[in-house]
Amino acid sequence: MLNHSLDLMYAALADGSRRTMVDRLSRGPATVKELAGPLTMTLPAVLQHLRVLEESGLVRSEKVGRVRTCRLQPAALQAAEQWIADRRSGWVSSLDRLEDFLNGESDD
């Protein structure tokens, strides 16, 4: 069973607009205005998407004066990366055994 934070992260990344924001933040901090630029939605909608990203732990924001700057939290991606790596290693092992069997190299 996946833990709750991993569920939140994958749910946050399920939306294309939020992935666009994460992609932009992977190049460095950005203001909400900069994140909203390429998106065709209202500023309140952008703020709702940012709230989802913050709740998932992927993004952290800080408000100084009237400017809110967002930063990606790379450490938050480690759990997702580990989960994918674990699945990949299991599949690779299974496919290697299948290849051996199909090539007549099984231990039977």
In a domain, 108, yes or no: no
| The total number of structural domains that make up the chain | 1
Domain hosting 93: range is 4-102
In a domain, 107, yes or no: no
Q: What pTM was estimated for this model as a whole?
A: 0.75
Q: Is 86 in contact with 2 (CB distance < 8 Å)?
A: no
**Each residue's pLDDT tens digit in the chain (108 positions)?**
357 788 899 999 999 999 999 999 999 999 999 999 999 999 999 999 999 999 999 999 999 999 999 999 988 888 888 888 888 877 777 777 788 888 887 555
Helix (H) or strand (E) holding 30: strand 30-31
In a domain, 86, yes or no: yes
In a domain, 42, yes or no: yes
Q: Given this model, what pLDDT does residue 71 score? A: 97
